[in-house]
Amino acid sequence: MTDTATLAQKPLAPGLNRDDARSAAREVRKRRLQAFLFVTPLLIFILFSFVAPITTMLYRSVYNPTVADLLPDTLVALQEWEQSDESPSDAVLTQFAIDLKRLANDRTSGRLADEINRALPGMSSVVKSTARAVRRVDDAELAANGPALLIDANDRWAEPETWRAIKDAGRAYSLDYYLTSLDLERGSAGEIQARDTQIYVKLYTKTLWMALIITVATVLLGYPLAYFMANTSTSLSNALMVFVLLPFWTSLLVRTTAWIALLQTNGVVNSTLQAFGLRDDPLELLYTQFSTIIAMTHILLPFMVLPLYSVMRGIDSSYMRAAMSMGSRPLAAWFRIYLPMSLPGLSAGALLVFIISVGYYITPALVGGTDGQMISNIIAFHMQQSNNWELAAALGALLLLLILVLYWLFDRFVGAANIKLG
Amino acid sequence: MGRFPEYYNLWHIAGHYALRGFAALVLIFLMLPILVIIPLSFNAEPFFTFTEGMLALDPDAYSLRWYKEIFDDEKWTLAIKNSFIVGFAAAILATLLGTVAAVGLASPWMPYKRLITALLLSPMIVPLIIIAAGMFFFYTQFNLVGTYTGLIIAHAALGVPFVIITVTATLSGFDRSLFIAGLSLGASPVKVFWDVVIPLIRPGVISGGLFAFVTSFDEVVLVLFLAGPEQRTIPRQMFSGLREQINPTILAVATLLVVLSAAMLFTLEALRRRSERMRGEGL
């Protein structure tokens, strides 16, 4: 809106009266509205179909009301209890016994068991067995003897650690899933400490490391190819372009299938090696980190070659000829003259390949085995198998942050508008 | 040695041929995996590898049985049907909304252009697994998970950035005074859009639509999370085939897909040439 405002306040050009200025401002407003109206339908569509889902997911990573909804009264009673070495009062235990009986009869005690188990591993069976024990006890008996009944069913109800876990799980808003994503946890006094088992930081590091190897591999393969194609005759380079574009356009699943056919135990690579007598026993190539890296290098190579080629095409070859005719060695001429000029294409390709490979899911899932898994695969695991959606959301949010930082770098150094297709 | 400049010594020439050889190797690396699956799909045996008979070029070692299998298996025929339904619907939706929006974005008067462009292109940048997780949470609330509508909306969102990019690129060569001329002659913006803008940017629109179609046709992560058994597409069927029981039917499907992408490539190339020609002559 600033343009409109400045236009109205600007000192008037000679021969232009206030009415003209006002009608010009009106015209500008009309044009802006017109342009915006063209974009509106798509904007609404993307806000609903894409932006809202991502926002909901981010919200979910800090908000989990399950326990708060299941045990509202117990949690109110627990508020009084300081996180000390003593167990909470009998009133809290009684209230919990009554809540647990209700949940057991509503068949929702299993959900409670899962949630508390996440805060304190091993609690799942404790909650479930206690729920079975109190299910049939009548209310008067529970009100009178609740604490004793709980502790009879399982002595872990006497431990303060158990109640601390319930109190933690009962907070609807928490950053605990982010702590878990970074392999941290809250200690008994609420301090933040490293977990015994380091999983996720290692996985993030491995993902970045694999993405880096893939990026370097695509540079090593792609740069000479793009250089050759950019410096040969147009008809030859157009023909060779088909060899780059056909894989680019071929389904991801087809290319992954091809690598499975090549690399499996009785696959093409192993049969060839054996036929030539180079190996007696087959190599274990598939379902390893190696197979993930080679298949992804193959899949992402066109993303490196295409931007490199389009930049190199525009570099005048006479610079290199001039340097070399004046006695420069080819490598020195390339390093000091050609490389700096091809850098925009190189950085575009490298960042593109790196960004895509950090978030890759399908190829590691199919050819990765156990040590070729990347961060996306563990997110899918928590979504589909362990049903820990909040942790999946927190891991996803960290991955998204990483991608946004990379994208910001991309936009800064390359300019997102320079992305070209085909 | 007449084709090399005077100052070239033996090392330069060796380097020249080394580069040529290396480029050839990289091109082989790019193409070979795709070419290998084509003969394998004609295997008479249920293996993923060349049998001795195939290497000896024995005609009996080759057969079309895996191609027949595709069309006999209800799961595959349903998957083929679904891929085309979802792909076409998503491409049409993305192309309609994307083209109209690109015209607005190309206008010099467009407010908040940078922010809105970044927002509309973001489905291309965000990793699919994050999109899938978010959409799964969100679409469940609207009962869109396990429906064609949900999948089409999701795939259309993925296709939008490609339409925006290709149409914006064509519009950069579009003379805006034509739009203003139409308006000044009394036509409504919508009429000018249909009668003047669309015919001129058609190559960009068609290639954007093709990109959107291919994106949907090739997409499997969102399908894994959002589709029910009724909406399984070809990539989804291949994914479970590769995880559960590997048999050459997948190779036969893969071969058909390679043929399809070759057809797509040549269509796009033709469109690109046409667009270049039109720009060269018209403006």
- The CATH number given to whatever domain includes residue A337 is 1.10.3720.10
Q: How many domains does chain A have?
A: 3
pLDDT of B72? 92
Given A38, A221, A228, which is nearest B104 (Cβ)? A38
Assess whether A18 and A103 both reside in one domain: no
Give the per-residue pLDDT at A137.
Answer: 79
Answer yes or no: do A378 and A258 share one domain. yes
Nearest residue of chain B to residue A249 (CA atoms): B261
Q: In terms of domains, do A236 and A380 share one?
A: yes
C-alpha dihedral (A42, A48, A52, A53), degrees to nearest 10: -110
Radius of gyration of chain B (CA): 24
Question: How far is B282 from chain A, CA to nearest CA, in Å?
Answer: 23
> CB neighbours of A212 closer than 8 A, spacing ≥ 6?
A354
Q: Which of A60, A88, A109 is the last residue of a domain?
A: A60
pLDDT for residue A15: 67
Cα–Cα separations (whole angstroms), residue A66 to A108, A146, A213, A393: 11, 24, 42, 15
R_g (Cα) of chain A, nearest Å: 31
β-bridge pairing A192-194 and A184-186: antiparallel
Asked whether the beta carbons of residue B97 and residue A41 sit closer than 8 angstroms, the reply is: yes
Residues A323 and A394 in one domain: yes
Which residue ranges make up each domain of chain B? 10-61, 74-246
* Integer Cα distance of B273 and A251 in angstroms: 24
Answer whether residue A186 is part of any domain. Answer: no
Q: Are residues A247 and A383 in the same domain?
A: yes
Q: Which of A101, A87, A93 is nearest to A74 (CA)?
A: A93
Q: Are residues A334 and A407 both part of a single domain?
A: yes
Asked if A53 has any chain B CB less than 8 Å from its own CB, the reply is: yes
Domain of A44, in residue numbers: 2-60
- What was the pLDDT predicted at B170? 84
Which of A39, A221, A380 has its CB closest to that of B26? A221
Same domain for A72 and A25: no
The low-confidence residues of chain A, meaning pLDDT below 50, are: 1-8, 421-422
Is A256 found in the same domain as A166? no
Residue of A nearest to B189 (CA): A34
Residues of chain B falling short of pLDDT 50: 1, 281-283
**Whether residues A270 and A334 fall in one domain:** yes
Gap from A254 CA to chain B (nearest CA, Å): 5
Give how far A49 is from chain B: nearest CA, Å. Answer: 6
DSSP state of A173: B
Specify if A187 maps to a domain: no
pLDDT of A12: 54
Interchain CB distance below 8 Å, B160 and A422: no
Q: What is the pLDDT of residue A140?
A: 79
Pick the CATH number of B74-246 from 1.10.3720.10, 3.40.50.1220, 2.40.50.140, 1.10.10.10: 1.10.3720.10
Alpha helices in A276-371 (DSSP H): 289-313, 318-325, 330-333, 339-358, 362-367
| Domain stops at, among A27, A60, A93 | A60
Residue B11 has what pLDDT? 79
Would you call B126 and A256 a contact, using CB atoms and an 8 Å cutoff?
no
CA pair distance A220, A240, nearest whole angstrom: 18
CB of A348 within 8 A of CB of A307?
Answer: yes
